[in-house]
Chains A and B, each alone.
Chain A
């Protein structure tokens, strides 16, 4: 269950943002939702983090009126009700597929996490094996 990866990316996305009905924040929620939707539910059976996240994201999107905010963002009129006064995000805030700190390079966090193939590129370079992972680290003295 890769929910921690999705949550990490969401935290990185929203770290420099003020929560609220702002386009940057709503886009981060959208990314979070897409990432969670890519996870196979079977791999998260009994994982409270996963199930609560599935519930919380739509709640936040409703609370912050994200549907309207993003619609107005795409069709700006002369009387926009929502001020977009967020601090600039780490990634510039307007690239839907950027990962934290990628400086505009190709997005790879979702690629590694996702079972779904990326659009474009060769399928031959997609990992299709087991998604059971291990970690190793070395630090200090």
Chain B
């Protein structure tokens, strides 16, 4: 059986808009 090795990408965090932070 052949296993596919997926490509990996590092994704950096982007700061959330301030007014959206407390919407939970």
Instruction: Please determine whether chains A and B interact with each other in the same assembly.
Output: no
